[in-house]
Structure 1
């Protein structure tokens, strides 16, 4: 069995080919935001055809960096990949690739990937958070993605943490994303967020806010494990050690919640592995 996996984000897009459950090819490319959805569909179609010489994928799973109406298979309003609202991306790629396609939010697929092949293989409930250009989350319970009534479960980045905080692209103020995401940090400081997070003095102010957002998720959902992926998670153990300590400090001692927070085991490929599983579900349904 061969399936194609696609991950579309605000800064890059990635493709991977899986054969019998193994990744046999993977490529990543910069995203041309100015080109919009027409450029992306042409781009993905061209790349898939180039790969088709030695491969014959039977289905395609797509992770998109923004809200997705899963039932309708249409893109919602993305704040990081503009010009896509209400676009039937899965249908457009089906027409171009001539294979069945299914799409979901990238954080949902990151959760699915880590649950099936990464840091969540030994747990029953998992919250996956992407900490990158923006902040999003995906929740799995007993292997099933929790999407919510409007396919908007997991919009953790838009939980308000500071009433008078900086404006957020969603229209609110002081959202988790506006305080802790890479794009927001770089807009405020003019410096690379990943570089700043190596500085203990910067982390001393940043980590308590990051923990405040995760504390809400822990108290509301009580997942067995939290897995954090995305570009800023690559800062490594210094960030995770500080975060675990701060969560222990912030959580009430009367509520002995487990604090199991780990980096994504699949690195940049969490979404691709989730998209692979989504594609396999097409073939098994």
Structure 2
């Protein structure tokens, strides 16, 4: 394969380097296009043919049903790894040892407290407010409680930002849900695993004990693994774009949540849940609905 691609404009030829990815896909690096051509640009509505960066995190081929994180097939990870292991893999490039995973989880638990004043902000929302809108707003509000910026060149600051997000987001998610359900807000239980703790914070009734359900834990854990990363999708790109202005961690994440809220992006997941609820109300005959597909 040639190392360059040749572009001819009005009889003038220009060469641009080819880049080969980990899955043998080929891209043309045109970052010098405007400068070498005197202002020529490309038009690619929706960025269907444009990569915004080089990345070794995820490979996704929807047409062939392929999803890999750091080279690992999603089927293998969904079967053998839990969400925190996969999160560690995506962030650091390698699966954690038992000691690394234990430290990672403990560090996350230490960051799980959310300032009580955030509850006052939540009180201002009506019960009918969409949980995604509430979550986006609460995330944005965290800027006031975490005003310091993150130096992306500092491994320590980046690590602290990561565990802060992984610690606080389950709490915010549970609060957004419980607000809509009319349930009192609560914190989690440090004795539980990451996913089990999310389920307890969301669904524990005011009276009575919480009993872990291994089927639900496994289902949610698998769901989180499957959705942990999907390349440069709409919400990821939104976070990157907002973050590129140095707007800050929680401002960037809030924007990404708003993008995920859209019916053409994360809204598709909501449609699936609504479909499953409809199947349940219709008697739970999944084969009947599969036959309609």
Of Structure 1 and Structure 2, which has the larger fraction of its residues in helix?
2
Give the structure with higher Rg (CA).
Answer: 2
What TM-score do the two structures reach when normalised by structure 1? 0.25
Of Structure 1 and Structure 2, which has the larger fraction of its residues in strand?
1
Q: Which has the higher contact order (CA 8 A, sep 6+)?
A: 1
